[in-house]
Chain A
Amino acid sequence: EAGVAQSPRYKIIEKRQSVAFWCNPISGHATLYWYQQILGQGPKLLIQFQNNGVVDDSQLPKDRFSAERLKGVDSTLKIQPAKLEDSAVYLCASTRGGLWNEQFFGPGTRLTVL
């Protein structure tokens, strides 16, 4: 089966600009996650969707970050306006759910804010 797809793979922007990332999870996976991974650290959960509803967005900086999953499949994560400290890799993951609940990750989008 095809894996989790993300685009773009790389993005460089100036601070205060806007940027959007796209994720297409594995077919049939109801749960989708966005993580932020700063260099040298483990990924940190930003937001979790179950179908098209938000389950957990407690660590999402809502003044500048937003995310949606309109039809319960693809998802977009937006940053507006970007700050220098937003430079990171943004990872998308999905899971079918159930007993094992193994998460499968996409290749990530590396964002550099100048």
Chain B
Amino acid sequence: KQEVTQIPAALSVPEGENLVLNCSFTDSAIYNLQWFRQDPGKGLTSLLLIQSSQREQTSGRLNASLDKSSGRSTLYIAASQPGDSATYLCAVSLIQGAQKLVFGQGTRLTINP
């Protein structure tokens, strides 16, 4: 059974810092991995999607890496801003048929001005 873990559960940093969020998964047989952002009371917004054959994806100040063999992904946020405060979730898409997502519990990020 695929399990996804995110550490830390919560993180608070001052504005301007670079930071890394971690995601680990137990079964390396994944189709892809997505990072999402969730604001309070809102749905999920997809940030980055990495196919299993890729090593990383970049979008603006965000960079996500994937090491399938070790079951790890990281989300790097450069020059953090207060508007980055949200919960960040990673999810892996299982490889066979149904393409369903298995989520981690999320990291609640607070950027202090």
A residues in contact (CB < 8 Å) with B: 4, 6, 31, 33, 40-45, 48, 55-56, 91, 93, 95, 97, 99-108, 110
Contacts and interface: CB of A to CB of B under 8 A. Distances in A.
Nearest to B32: A101
Nearest to A91: B43
The range of chain B's interface size is 20 to 34
Contacts of B44: 43, 91, 93, 105
Contact of B93 (A40, A56, A91, A101): A101
Contact of B45 (A31, A44, A105): A105
B4 A48 contact: no
A101 B89 contact: no
Contacts, number: 61
A21 B39 CA distance: 21
Given A102-B46, A107-B42, A42 B100 contact: no
Secondary structure at the B interface, as helix, strand, loop or mixed, is strand
Interface stretch (B13-21, B65-73, B103-111): B103-111
Nearest to A44: B103
Contact of B104 (A31, A42, A45, A100): A42
A100 B33 CA distance: 10
